[in-house]
Amino acid sequence: MTFTRRNTGLIVAPLLAGTVWLLAAALPFEARVVAAIMVFCLVFWMTEVIPLSMTAFTGVLLAIVTGVANIETAFQNLGHPIILLFIGSFLLARAMTRHGLDKQIALFILSRKFFQKSLFKLFFGFSIVSFVLSMWVSNSVTVAMLLPLIIGVTHLIQQPGEQRSPALYFLLGTAYSASVGGISTIIGSPPNLIGVNYLAKQGITIDFLQWMLMALPISVSMYGFLLLYMRYFLKKCTYNRQVVEQYVTENQQKQSKLNRGSKVTMGVFFLAVILWLLPGFLNLLGQEAAYSFMSTYFAESTVALLAALLLFLIPAKPGEGTLVADDLVRIDWDTILLFGGGMALGQLVVTSGLADMIGTGIAGMLQADQPLLLVFSLVLLVLFLTEVSSNTAIAITFVPIIIGVLTGFELPLLYPVLGVVVACSFAFMLPVATPPNAIVYGTRQVPIAKMVRTGLILNIVGAMLITAFVMLYMAL
C-alpha cells in the first residue's frame, strides 16, 4: 500500500480511536464512545479520507449504530437556523456572481490607486471589507459575498507557473478577517449571542455597546497581527501591477452601468443588511418591545431566506427571476452539510455527558488562586475544541460548563466568559471550526494541510491576546 495522506488516515483513525477507547475505560459508556468517535473524525478531517461533510455524517452514524444517539434526533441540526442562514447567504452570493455584481465590486477595489501599489495592499482592500462587514453582518454572509470577488481577482493576478499562489492567502486571510471582525458585536457571530444569553441567565445583562467596548479592542489587535502575518506570506508571491491596471482600463468602460439583475441583487442585499442590523440598533436605543419583535420574527436565518425568496420572485428579465432553479444546485451543499454534521457531533458531546466530565477535569487541574493560568487554559481548551466541531456547537456546549467552573471557584463570570466566547471564533486551523473556514475550504483552493499550518500560529497568538485582555479587564 502506498502511504498517501488518505491511506494514512484510514489506518491511523481507527488505531487512535481504539487507543482513546482503551485509555478512557473509567468513563461511562456513552462518553467513552463519543470521545473515540471525535478522535476518529478528527483524523479523517485532517487527512481528507472522504469529503469533510461525509466525515461529520460518519461520526453521527457511528453514534447511532453504537446506541449513543437516537436516529430520530441525531440529524436535527440539519434544520438548525445557522444552516438556513448558510443556504440564504450562499444564494445571495450566487445572485451576485450570476449578474456580475461581484466583478463590479472587485473592479471598484482594483481601480483605487492605493490598493494597486502592492499585493499586500490589494489583500488589505479585501480583508478590511471582510473585517468591517462582519461586525454588522454574519461572518458567513460576508465571506460568501466576497468569495467570488477574491477568486476572480486572484485568478487575474496569478502568474503562470507560480508555485506559491496568492489565492491561498487571499482566501484564508479574508476568512480569518471575517472571524476576527465578527467578535466585535453581539450580532457578528453566533457564539456571541449564545454567550450573552447564558450570561443573562446568570443575571448579567450585556447590551450592544457594552459588548462592543469589550470585544473591539481584542478584535482590532488580532486583525493587526493578522495583517502582519499575511504580509509575510504575500511578500513571497509575485505581483504584476500592470496586469491589474490593464484589466481596470479594459473593463471600467463596459461595466460602468449596472444591469437589472445587479440592481435587484443590491436592493435585496441592502434590505437584508438593514433587517440584520435593526434588532441591534433597537436594543441599543432601549426599544425592548421592538427588539423582541424583530429578534423573534426577523432572526438572521429568516432574513437570509427571505432575501433568497425575493431573488427568486423579483424578475431580472421578463419571465425569469433574479435567481432561477439552476442556481439552487450551484451553491456549496458540501459546506452546508459539513457544518450541519459538525453541529450534530458537538451536540453529542453534551448529551453523552462528555462535556460535564471535561469541565470537572478542568476544575480538578486548575487552581482559583492562579487566574492567569485558569483563563489561559479555558481559552486554549475551547479554542482547540472548536477546531473539531462548529464554533456554535462548542459555545452551546462549553459556556455553561465554564460558568459552572468559575462559579465553583467563586470567580467573576463576565470577562472570562467573554474570553471563552471570543475563543470560539478564533479557531483558524480546520474547516469545520467556523463558517468562514468552511466556506473558503469549499473553493477547493485551500488544502487542509495549509490551513492547519497557517492557522496554528494564529490560534496560539489569539489565545494569548484574549487572555491578556481578559486579565486587563479583570484588573481594571
Q: How far is CA 355 from CA 138, 398, 418, 424, 425, in A?
A: 27, 7, 19, 15, 19
pTM: 0.70
More confident position, 307 or 156 = 307
User: Is the separation of the CB atoms in 185 and 280 below 8 Å?
Assistant: yes
Pairing type for strands 320-321 and 315-317 reads antiparallel
What is the pLDDT, as a whole number, of residue 397?
A: 67
Q: Is 240 helix (H, G, I), strand (E, B) or coil?
A: coil
117 has pLDDT over 60: yes
| Length of the chain (residues) | 476
The C-alpha cell at 140 is 458567513
181 has pLDDT over 70: yes
Lowest mean pLDDT segment, chosen from 52-61, 132-141, 182-191, 269-278: 132-141
Once rounded to an integer, what is the mean pLDDT over residues 420-426? Answer: 91
Q: Is 424 helix (H, G, I), strand (E, B) or coil?
A: coil
Lowest mean pLDDT segment, chosen from 25-34, 77-86, 181-190, 450-459: 77-86
Span 397-417, pLDDT tens digits: 678 778 877 877 777 888 999
**pLDDT cut 70: percent of the chain above it:** 92
What is the pLDDT, as a whole number, of residue 368?
A: 65
The C-alpha cell at 12 is 491511523
Neighbours of 333 (CB within 10 A): 15
What is the pLDDT, as a whole number, of residue 359?
A: 67
Domain boundaries, the chain: 79-194+210-328
Q: Which of 129, 86, 87 is nearest to 110 (CA)?
A: 129
301 has pLDDT over 70: yes
Span 326-356, pLDDT tens digits: 989 888 787 778 777 777 877 787 778 786 7
- Phi/psi at 394 (5° precision): -65, -40
What is the pLDDT, as a whole number, of residue 114?
A: 85
455 has pLDDT over 90: yes
125 has pLDDT over 70: yes
